[in-house]
Chain A
């Protein structure tokens, strides 16, 4: 285990060196809130931020992205024939990303990188990225990462875990990509591995103890899909939803998209744009029929997808990392923690009945 000690005095100089070989992204304060932005040369990420308002998913998966291009000009030989858009994916580093948001990429990867089909845009952006995660020592009140297979010091998907140790950072090297980045920054001062590891472990325990919000997911897998779908609580859960889509917009694990051709004069681009299961148009058939035509259908789809369909499809945990954003920003206070409990208890209550 390699742990590098980075003096805070050398932090910005290291970042400046990095910016020669990486595009750097980090949390930046915009008016009231922090968001991930590409850092200009000499600009340092604001690591005092608890977490950004939007998830950093747009760095890998832009809200709007051109997939293909074409010409409608019939004097051109290749008119109406789709063309690849030349794209390069230079190395990029995401500095100060929280462990929950990195874990989210690992969950989303199951959708874009499949045995049958590979989404080249997502995969190329993901693979060109080095994730320099910042451990959370002050979790927000809505965070429930520790019970969502994640945690404030969770290492999954990270290349380096940064721990704020006062006048210096301890950088735990978790991959070759991470090691290369530290070299490029000139951060080479190795800490005594035993002492540093012990310190990180102590801080991790203390951070985990600050998480006060939990969910139970143990009954979800064995729950019956059809019975959960028909559970009586959906009417209550969805009653106040205004289908604004904020939850899916801020969620680091929501990946749904739309594809639209956008023309300008005689040329155009086939665009991919974020979409949301909260919108009626998302599933509207050409005939006018809509299989998810009501607010109840759409709210249920969001929670069933994250907490049941995903679990069953990939034989894995839930499609949620407990970042708490949807809880914080929902204008009508719909709380995934409560819904998860309803689903989980509904399942387990039913299992008990079946046994007795």
Chain B
């Protein structure tokens, strides 16, 4: 019997400080046993439990893309006991990764469609995974137009700034970067909250357009009316949820929204599905 609580041992290969407040770091892990990489076979949108030995586990979205080989990446906000300790760890340290867990963005359903990605703050991790996945030369032809609207409080709070700039220059993806505000006179992108920029930049809804929305509750709250106004049907709006988790496999009982476990039946739901739950998240 496969023990679903057993993490794969990994070594920290690289640590990147992502944001100006230094509260977000990206950890790049390599598997200690190379065959584990094959077992850790994931889709963009899934998460894993990062197992900091002696401290505990935290559920974190996978920021690397399945098309990137040889490592897995996670961007972690420093919040509680485990994430704070993880932030103090060094390249070379040994820990564990358990997963991949949960469902993923509906890649089959999105084939042949326009994809609109709307992200805010540090909820951009699995969206990065998705963008890298879609931009892979083998996958790009499967999707029509790709739009990305991504915002943070300030330029220094944007994740993956080098990649954003690179995507911004490409002609096979439309990237709209925005910040709530900045006093940087050289800021050449948008200024304004994500819902406002969505209203200005997102394509109008049609049968062939799917929106993925990931962000803090306040952003989601104000983006939904905008998408309604643009005519997006609720089965065309995809959301990825977070809740407190322990087991990650639908057993420990705390992350449910009604009968659905966010960890196992989610974390990805359509808005239509969420409307049928008590939305306790």
Chain A residues engaging chain B, CB cutoff 8 angstroms? 67-68, 70, 72, 79-82, 84, 111-112, 114, 116-120, 123-124, 225-226, 229, 255-261, 263, 268, 270, 275, 277, 282-287, 289, 291-292, 297, 301, 304-305, 308-310, 312-313
> Please, which residue of chain A has its CB at the minimum distance from the CB of B264?
A116
> Please, which residue of chain B has its CB at the minimum distance from the CB of A228?
B278
CA distance A117 to B49 in the complex (A): 15
> Please, which residue of chain B has its CB at the minimum distance from the CB of A309?
B259
Q: A-B pairs with CB below 8 Å: how many?
A: 130
Q: Which of the segments B175-183, B202-210, B226-234, B241-249 contacts the partner chain? A: B241-249
> Please, which residue of chain A has its CB at the minimum distance from the CB of B257?
A291
Q: Which of the segments B5-13, B129-137, B188-196 contacts the partner chain? A: B5-13
Beyond contacts A82-B96, A120-B1, A259-B5: 4 other A-B pairs, Cβ-Cβ < 8 A, are A80-B93, A81-B32, A82-B51, A283-B254
Q: Number of contacting residues on B, CB 8 A?
A: 46
Tell whether, in the assembled complex, residue B253 and residue A259 are in contact, meaning their CB atoms are under 8 Å apart: no
Tell whether, in the assembled complex, residue B254 and residue A68 are in contact, meaning their CB atoms are under 8 Å apart: no
Which B residues lie within 8 Å of A291 (CB)? 243, 257, 280-281
| Contact sample, A vs B, 24 pairs, CB 8 Å cutoff | A67-B5, A68-B5, A68-B6, A80-B93, A84-B3, A114-B251, A116-B264, A119-B4, A120-B1, A120-B3, A124-B1, A255-B251, A256-B254, A257-B247, A257-B251, A259-B246, A261-B53, A261-B54, A261-B55, A261-B56, A277-B254, A282-B244, A286-B80, A301-B256
Which B residues lie within 8 Å of A282 (CB)? 244, 254
Tell whether, in the assembled complex, residue A112 and residue B53 are in contact, meaning their CB atoms are under 8 Å apart: no
CA distance A268 to B259 in the complex (A): 35
Q: Is the interface of B mostly helix, strand, loop or mixed?
A: loop
Q: Is the interface of A mostly helix, strand, loop or mixed?
A: mixed
| CB proximity of A267 to chain B, nearest CB, Å | 9
Q: Which of A112, A257, A291, A312 lies at the interface centre, i.e. has the most chain B CB atoms within 10 A of its CB?
A: A291
CA distance A285 to B7 in the complex (A): 23
| CB proximity of A315 to chain B, nearest CB, Å | 11
CA distance A286 to B80 in the complex (A): 6
Tell whether, in the assembled complex, residue B258 and residue A117 are in contact, meaning their CB atoms are under 8 Å apart: no
Which A residues lie within 8 Å of B278 (CB)? 225-226, 229, 304
> Please, which residue of chain B has its CB at the minimum distance from the CB of A225?
B258
| CB proximity of A29 to chain B, nearest CB, Å | 32
Q: Which 7 A-B pairs have the closest CB atoms?
A: A256-B253, A286-B79, A309-B259, A80-B94, A313-B259, A80-B53, A286-B80
Tell whether, in the assembled complex, residue B250 and residue A114 are in contact, meaning their CB atoms are under 8 Å apart: yes
Tell whether, in the assembled complex, residue B243 and residue A275 are in contact, meaning their CB atoms are under 8 Å apart: no
Residues A275 and B252 in contact in the complex (CB < 8 Å), given A67-B5, A259-B246: yes
CA distance A70 to B252 in the complex (A): 22
Tell whether, in the assembled complex, residue B276 and residue A226 are in contact, meaning their CB atoms are under 8 Å apart: yes
CA distance A200 to B65 in the complex (A): 63
Any chain A CB within 8 A of the CB of B46? no
Contact residues of B between 32 and 66, Cβ < 8 Å to A: 32, 51, 53-57
**Residue of A67, A81, A297 touching B96 (CB-CB under 8 A):** A81
